[in-house]
Amino acid sequence: MTATGALRISDEARLYGLEELSRRAGLHDHDWQGWRIDANPGSLILRRRDGAGQIVFPASKTELSSGRVVRKSWFREPDAHLGGPVPEFIVPFCSAESKAGESLFVETAPGEFRCTEDLLASAALVLSRYEEIVSTERDEHGRFRSANGVATRDGYLDRPIVDEWGLALEQIIQAMEPGWRAPKRTVRVKVSHDVDLIGIPFRLREPAVQILARRQFGAAIRDLLSGFTGVLPGSLGQVMEICEQVQTRGLKSALYWKASARTAFDSGYDIDDPRVARVMDWARAHAIEMGVHPGYYTFGNPEELAAEVDRCRRAVGEGEMGGRQHYLRWSPDTWLHWEQCGMAYDSSVGFADCVGFRAGTCWPYRPWLWNENRRAKLLEIPLVVMEQSLVSPQYMGLPPEASSEAVRGLLRRCASVGGVFTLLWHNNCLGDPYSKHLPGIFDALAGLENHDWRNEQG
């Protein structure tokens, strides 16, 4: 990571960090009636209003550190519902004086606790993807690669570290209030489909790929016929097919449509085509969420983004909606651009080259905008797994058994913190080699609770 300038952590940013950790610890609005927050020079203190205890969070960081990572222990042996797959806590952006191996929280007097790191600043830095603001490392598509991140370097990309800090805070609150219990944590699932290709406009290359590479003969024939008849192209029909695969497992889909012009990276289909409208009508009849998948060149271009969102919004005809950037071309500035378009949520914060927790969380949250020193109005629903990350030889290139196990491992992590497991599966990824991976991955999610972003407090 290459720093380009110093960052001063504001009191507002630390308060944001406390609010995010408290949500993950299980503190809700009614619980806050018994607490107050005091900001002092060098610390932020969470105090019991009855004077029966406090938690001191040091505010020692005035500048972004070099990215030092330390591992911390539990305050005491955790209960089974807390411990799970969390043997210790991983805290990045620590100072040179940080002590590895000590407890993340220590008791300094009866009922009084102190965090041993500037955890609130770390939470704000990790959730906001600040390392991507100060790094110039990018791939050929302008994306920050997982290989350039601190999480990959220190081996914790498969850990939702910020959510796990919530478990540590829950343990301390419970020590202060033995009668208090956090709500039960339940993993939820959000499955979405970026509709990149639908066989419109007709190009011979698509059915050729379906036959030669993916052995999808039926889809290829429908694509060929669609060039001369009103039949749905095979790739457009696969929009319904993938949604049905999801529905048979008790899950719900979200379809993200494109409204971009044709480019080297965008198929350029007409979102107003009557055949697309037929599939959208089918989706509405099946209560399937629809949103936007902005084109390749909307990245870093808020004007083009706004134009495409507007075209998609008119076609979809829904109120609030979310979506995901094409090619996962995303940076922290994207949050502000999406907010300016009036989008309800984004789900682009995941790596193309590897699965895992890019922002250290599987909890939907409203990101911190450093330049504006405020919380975004937009909700971020972090992306945990994209099928191409697992399968593509240019990325992880896992065999089917390994990809299923990777998904199950990440799902266990989400379950331990009560987060949302998000899966992206493209409509045109139903043939070889994806067909060998799909059953094991989809079956691992079958019957789990669906995530409804409209009920998210963020």
Interatomic CA distance for residues 415 and 419, integer angstroms:
6
Residue 1 within a domain: no
Mean pLDDT, residues 2-30 taken together: 83
Claim to verify: residue 69 and residue 216 sit in the same structural domain: no
Q: Is residue 69 assigned to a domain?
A: yes
Q: Answer yes or no: do 290 and 367 share one domain.
A: yes
Least confident stretch, 79-83, 220-224, 415-419, 433-437: 220-224
Q: What is the 3-state secondary structure (H, E, C) of 43-84?
A: EEEEEECCCCCEEEEECCCCCCCCCEEEEEECCCCCCHHHHC
Output the six-digit token pair for 226. Answer: 């669609």
Identify whether 346 is part of a domain.
yes
Same domain, 168 and 213: no
pLDDT tens, residue by residue, 357-377: 999 999 999 999 999 999 999
Q: What does the pLDDT average to over 231-253?
A: 95
Structure tokens at 56: 């001191």
**Domain annotation covers residue 2:** no
pLDDT in tens, 306-364: 999 999 999 999 789 999 999 999 999 999 999 999 999 999 999 999 999 999 999 99
Q: Per-residue pLDDT tens for 40-99?
A: 889 999 999 888 899 999 997 655 555 689 999 999 999 877 777 899 999 999 887 888
Q: Which tops the pLDDT comparison, 224 or 432?
A: 432
Average pLDDT over residues 109-134: 95
204: its two tokens: 């011979």
Q: Are residues 87 and 201 in the same domain?
A: no
Residue 392 above 90 pLDDT?
yes
Q: Are strands 374-375 and 379-380 parallel, antiparallel or unpaired?
A: unpaired
Q: Do 172 and 202 fall within a single domain? A: no
> Could you tell me if residue 314 is inside a domain?
yes
Q: Are residues 289 and 424 in the same domain?
A: yes
Q: CA distances (Å), 167 to each of 58, 99, 123, 328, in order? A: 19, 20, 14, 30
pTM for this model (two decimals): 0.92
pLDDT surpassing 80 at residue 184: yes
Same domain, 348 and 423: yes
State mean pLDDT over 204-232: 58
Residue 222 pLDDT level (bands cut at 50, 70, 90): low
Instruction: Give the pLDDT confidence score for residue 63 in this predicted structure.
Output: 55
In this structure, is residue 5 part of a structural domain?
Answer: no
pLDDT, mean of residues 168-197:
95
Kind of pairing between the strands at 322-323 and 345-346:
parallel
Averaged pLDDT of the chain: 91
Helix/strand/coil for 239? helix
- Say what the pLDDT of residue 319 is: 85
d(CA 159, CA 163): 9
Nearest-angstrom CA–CA distance, 175 and 106: 12
Verify that 196 and 269 share a domain, yes or no.
yes
Domain shared by 17 and 143, yes or no: yes
Rounded to an integer, the average pLDDT of 256-263 is: 97
Segment 390-399 shows an average pLDDT of 97
| Whether residue 371 sits in one domain with residue 300 | yes
Domain span at residue 203 reads: 188-455
With a cut of 70, say whether residue 211 has pLDDT above it: no
**Residue 406 falls within a domain, yes or no?**
yes
Max CA distance (Å), the chain: 80
User: According to the model, what pLDDT value does residue 142 have?
Assistant: 97
DSSP string, 252-297: -EEEEE--PPP-SS-----TT-HHHHHHHHHHHHTT-EEEE---GG
Count how many domains the chain has: 2
Give the pLDDT of residue 65. 52
Residues 215 and 75 in one domain: no
Confidence of residue 226 (pLDDT cuts 50, 70, 90): low
Which whole-number Å values give the CA distances from 11 to 5, 37, 121, in the listed order?
A: 19, 12, 9
Query: In the structure, what pLDDT confidence band is assigned to residue 1 with cuts at 50, 70 and 90?
Result: very low
81 and 224 in a single domain? The answer is: no
pLDDT for position 14? 94
Q: Does residue 3 form part of some domain?
A: no
**Among 125, 155, 176, where does a domain finish?**
176
pLDDT band at 286 (very low <50, low <70, confident <90, very high): very high
| pLDDT recorded at residue 92 | 94
Following CA atoms 227, 230, 233, 239 in sequence, which dihedral angle do they give, to the nearest 10 degrees?
160
- Domain CATH code at residue 339: 3.20.20.370
> What does the angle CA 315 – CA 320 – CA 324 come to, to the nearest 5 degrees?
75
Encode burial over 322-343: b for 16+ CB neighbours within 10 A, e otherwise. bbbbbbbbbbbebbbbbbebeb
Cis before 201 (ω within 30): yes
